[in-house]
Amino acid sequence: MTGLRSSFSQCSPIPALLAAIALSACAPLPPRLEAPSQATVSTLTKLNGHPCTGTVASTLDAYHVPPQSVRDLFYTQRLSGESRLLGYTAWMHLIDQPGSLVMDVDRSCQFEQAYTRGGAELPGIYRSAF
């Protein structure tokens, strides 16, 4: 037991840190968000008039996703373990793609990340394995 304990005490967090840095280097950079186009805002607002729809519209424009390709849009809340609101997740099914385009925003609707799930693939957007 003593030999095993001393092996663990000599472990360094450096390899784990280097792995995290290497993996983050593979993640796409978040887009530069600008004011959304009126067409994108209008299309998304018809699907869901959530307060964060403007940010989602800006993100769609930044990733060059045509608004007419969005079939539906709904939001879920992200809560902490103490049931505090952390933010929202926007879920979109696209007309020409399987799976979902997903965007996370904080509770003040600031963009956090975008990714696809369930087989959807879009240029510049991380494809989740789940």
Q: What is the 3-state secondary structure (H, E, C) of the chain?
A: CHHHHHHHHCCCCHHHHHHHHHHHHHCCCCCCCCCCCHHHHHHHHHHCCCCCHHHHHHHHHHCCCCHHHEEEEEEEEEECCCCCEEEEEEEEEECCCCCEEEEEEECCCCEEEEEEECCCCCCCCEECCC
The residues, any chain, with a CB within 8 Å of residue 55's CB and separated by 6 or more, are 33, 103, 105, 109, 110, 111
User: Beta strand pairing status for 100-106 and 126-127?
Assistant: unpaired
Segment 94-119 shows an average pLDDT of 97
Sheet with 85-94: list strands edge to edge: 70-79, 85-94, 100-106, 111-117, 126-127
Report the predicted TM-score, pTM, of the whole model to 2 decimal places. 0.77
- Tokens 């008039």 correspond to what residue? 49
Q: What is the pLDDT of residues 35-71, one digit of tens each?
A: 999 999 999 999 999 999 999 999 999 999 999 999 9
Inform me whether the pLDDT recorded for 117 exceeds 90. yes
Domains and CATH numbers, the chain: 35-127 (3.10.450)
- What gap in Å lies between CA 71 and CA 95, rounded to an integer? 5
